[in-house]
A = this chain, B = another copy of it.
Amino acid sequence: MFKVKILGSSSATPAFSRNPSAQVVTYNDRHYLVDCGEGTQIQFQRYNVKLARLDGIFISHLHGDHVLGLPGLLSSLSIFEREKPLPVYAPGGLVEMLKTFFRISETYLKYEVEFFPMEDFQPGDIVFSTDKLRVKALPLTHRAFCRGFLFEEYNKRRKFDFFKAKALEIPNEYFHLLKQENDITLPDGRRIQADEVLMDADAPLSFAYCSDTRYEEKLLPFIQNVSMLYHEATFMEDMQKRARETQHSTAREAASIALQAGAKRLIIGHFSARYRDLNPLLEEARAVFPDTELATEGTEFDLRANV
């Protein structure tokens, strides 16, 4: 399972039932929160995502609409009796922000927050990994220090050809050895090479989270052929000047990045409160990159669905 669930799609201020930025990336049974705007813990409840099961938090930058849900969410995890340490990847200033709030509000967490300042990583660096998924830092260009995150599968197992193994009359109990790429000798003396029953692995899937950023082609080498790109699209093209000033992107620019990166799919979000109807943004992006969808609250995107 490799899914992305949208909990917030609004920019600076909430509008039209759109909450500020937050997404949950689920890989197999692990859950990662990416950005945490105000109200994110409430969105967890609304969309039935289990807060208690979070395995890591990734914060792109410290503007309020990406981080103000964090003190409350961390407090609630403590109320829910979390004991497991929680890794948090974010710009270094977050530590002072949280410590100040926790001190003044007399909040004591029952678990440890393992803090990793994103300033310690270069773009492209692996900041986090399990045996199957790793997260790399992406260079975004915004008013504040800002990093995107690339969630990518790696180390993918080759697929086991069950029917071929059956045809070769290999007993089931040898399957797990072969799946782990071991050559084996059967009781009847036959030598079986793992290659005989292993097919190529599926292409690794990847998800790039890019918010907030101006249009910036320096990002492209880091997200080549990404399976799914989330790219902010705060404005439409007629607001290009405002996009430049605030270092945000237009829907068309997001689509252009997706196209140049060879992305399979594009999700746009971080919509300005000036847009009640989001369809014009969707149309503007699709004119450049047809496989575009809107990041709307509660929507879950399945990365396996586009293999």
Most B-side CB within 10 Å, residue of A12, A39, A65, A79: A39
| CB–CB A106/B63 < 8 A | yes
Let me know if A15 is at the binding interface, CB within 8 A. Answer: yes
Within 8 A of B (CB), among A32-56: 38-39, 41-42, 45-46
Let me know if A298 is at the binding interface, CB within 8 A. Answer: no
Work out how many copies of this chain go into the complex. 2
Q: Which A residues lie at the B interface, using CB under 8 A?
A: 12-17, 19-20, 38-39, 41-42, 45-46, 62-65, 67-69, 71-72, 75-76, 79-80, 93-94, 96-97, 100-101, 104-107, 143-144, 273
Chain B residues with Cβ below 8 Å from A100 are 96-97, 100-101
Chain B residues with Cβ below 8 Å from A75 are 12-13, 64
9 closest residue pairs by CB, A with B: A39-B39, A93-B104, A13-B76, A100-B100, A38-B72, A14-B42, A68-B72, A62-B105, A13-B79
Residue of B nearest to A15 (CB): B45
| CB–CB A105/B41 < 8 A | no
| CB–CB A67/B105 < 8 A | yes
Most B-side CB within 10 Å, residue of A71, A107, A144: A71
CB distance from A224 to the nearest CB of B (A): 32
CB distance from A140 to the nearest CB of B (A): 15
Chain B residues with Cβ below 8 Å from A65 are 72
Q: A100-B97, A104-B93, A106-B144 are in contact. Are A72 and B64 (CB under 8 A)?
A: yes
CB distance from A275 to the nearest CB of B (A): 15
CB distance from A77 to the nearest CB of B (A): 9
Residue of B nearest to A102 (CB): B64
A39's partner among B38, B94, B107 (CB-CB below 8 A) is B38
Chain B residues with Cβ below 8 Å from A42 are 14, 19, 38-39
| CB–CB B104/A62 < 8 A | yes
Most B-side CB within 10 Å, residue of A17, A41, A42, A144: A42
CB distance from A71 to the nearest CB of B (A): 6
